[in-house]
């Protein structure tokens, strides 16, 4: 059955119309997509033109305030025991009976080791025999003098012979005294073969072993007394002017949870040749667990000070001159600080600032480095967490627009 010509013509027009509609719909969708992309790009460009605002919590900021500070000078150094000693060999020979090792306790006068005393004992015996022989010569000279005195009184010999007898006695006595001195020297050499501890403490180093032949002044043991410590701290000459013997200080020793109260014990009258610094010695009370060489840092209290100040942790030192980050009209500014004194309040180090009025908002250390000119807003919650940019400054995770 064939399709009528009119129906076929109508069907062709219907297909053509459907094709035109499909093309028109596709074109409309493409135009809509392009307009949507353009709108997104415009919105993104506008968003980039709007500066982000950093949300800061209340803990990220502080204010410049007029405070009554305890003026301090920062110190640091290594703890040193006040009493230390090195046990050295005072005679040459083979080392024996050395039993002490690092950490072992010792008592003042305790025998720590011995050096082979065979030669020293022989020298003592030799000197003793020589002293006995000299004593014998003294006895003979004295008897001869007594006999000559009796003969002179009886007129059998002349006075000249008596004077000769006196001279012989004096010579024998001098020889005996020299022999006794030699005996004392020999006995001293024998006692030097016994090594004793010069103080009560602990062995900190063992530098020789049994069986070694050691020479005179060879180091055998190092002994340290842990009952008293001092801290030698180098400070600037300008700071040393305010330091006095007896001033209190606070010292934090590594490994100890609580700071210790120290006292200025001595001040070196000369500056160090290389650094031009002055050494100040602080007496630090001994505590369980303290060891020689531990690092300690703290501050010396030199007086009271009333001035405008901020926490020392808020002062940044990543530039040639120290500066602080302040908030002025919602914008971060970097303000360079002039030289100022240090102090403390309630145990927190403070820095005196000049040129900043009271009430100036300053960023604390935990706020991090923020580029100068960045808009900030203080809040009560940490919204919009910050991340570190490649240059070390802080970049926002998400911008916040302020109307």
Q: Length of the chain, please?
A: 403
Q: What gap in Å lies between CA 401 and CA 50, rounded to an integer?
A: 7
Residue 151 sits at the vertex; the CA angle it makes with 148 and 153, to the nearest 5 degrees, is 110
User: Measured in whole angstroms, how far is the alpha carbon of residue 366 from the centre of its chain?
Assistant: 25
The confidence score (pLDDT) of residue 6 equals 60
The confidence score (pLDDT) of residue 148 equals 75
The confidence score (pLDDT) of residue 381 equals 30
The confidence score (pLDDT) of residue 268 equals 93
The confidence score (pLDDT) of residue 158 equals 67
The confidence score (pLDDT) of residue 249 equals 92
The confidence score (pLDDT) of residue 4 equals 58
The confidence score (pLDDT) of residue 246 equals 93
The confidence score (pLDDT) of residue 274 equals 84
Fold of 58-79+225-396: Elongation Factor Tu (Ef-tu); domain 3 (2.40.30)
The confidence score (pLDDT) of residue 342 equals 80
Instruction: Please list the ranges in the chain whose pLDDT falls under 70.
Output: 1-8, 44-52, 155, 158-159, 378-403
Q: Read off the tokens for 322.
A: 């120290």
Domain coordinates in residue numbering, the chain = 58-79+225-396, 91-202
The confidence score (pLDDT) of residue 71 equals 83
Q: How many CA atoms within 13 Å lie on the side-chain side of 187?
A: 8
The confidence score (pLDDT) of residue 398 equals 38
């Amino acid at each position: 059955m064939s399709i009528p010509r009119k129906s076929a013509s109508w069907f062709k027009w219907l297909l053509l119309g459907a094709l035109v509609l499909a093309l028109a719909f596709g074109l409309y969708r493409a135009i809509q997509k392009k307009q949507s992309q353009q709108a997104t790009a415009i919105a993104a460009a506008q968003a980039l033109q709007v500066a982000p605002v950093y949300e800061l919590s209340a803990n990220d900021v502080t204010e410049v305030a007029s405070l009554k500070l305890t003026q301090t000078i920062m110190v640091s150094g290594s703890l040193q025991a006040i009493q230390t000693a090195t046990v050295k060999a005072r005679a040459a020979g083979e080392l024996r009976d050395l039993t002490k090792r690092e950490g072992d306790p010792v008592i003042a006068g305790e025998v720590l080791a011995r050096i082979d005393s065979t030669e020293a004992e022989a020298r003592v015996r030799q000197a003793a025999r020589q002293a006995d022989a000299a004593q014998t010569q003294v006895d003979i000279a004295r008897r001869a003098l007594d006999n000559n005195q009796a003969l002179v009184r009886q007129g059998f010999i002349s006075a000249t012979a008596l004077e000769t007898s006196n001279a012989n006695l004096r010579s024998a006595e001098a020889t005996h005294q020299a022999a006794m001195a030699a005996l004392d020297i020999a006995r001293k050499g024998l006692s030097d073969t016994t090594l004793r501890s010069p103080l009560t403490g602990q062995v900190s180093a063992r530098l020789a072993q049994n069986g070694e032949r050691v020479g005179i002044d060879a180091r055998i043991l190092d002994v340290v007394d842990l009952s008293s410590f001092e801290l030698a701290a180098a400070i600037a000459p300008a700071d040393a002017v305010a330091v006095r013997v007896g001033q209190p200080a606070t010292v934090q020793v590594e490994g100890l949870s609580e700071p210790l109260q120290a006292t200025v014990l001595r001040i070196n009258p000369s500056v160090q040749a290389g650094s031009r610094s002055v050494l100040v010695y602080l007496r630090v009370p001994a505590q369980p667990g303290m060891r020689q060489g531990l690092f300690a840092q703290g501050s010396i209290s030199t007086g009271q000070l009333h001035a405008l100040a901020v926490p020392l942790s808020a002062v940044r030192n990543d530039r040639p001159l120290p500066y602080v980050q302040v908030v002025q009209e919602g914008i971060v500014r970097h303000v360079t600080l002039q030289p100022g004194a240090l102090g403390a309040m309630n145990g927190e180090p403070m820095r005196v600032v000049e040129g900043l009025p009271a009430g100036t908002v300053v960023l604390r250390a935990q706020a991090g480095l923020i580029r100068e000119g960045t808009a900030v807003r203080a809040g009560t919650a940490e919204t919009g967490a910050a991340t570190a940019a490649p240059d070390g400054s802080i970049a926002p995770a998400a911008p916040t627009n302020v109307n």
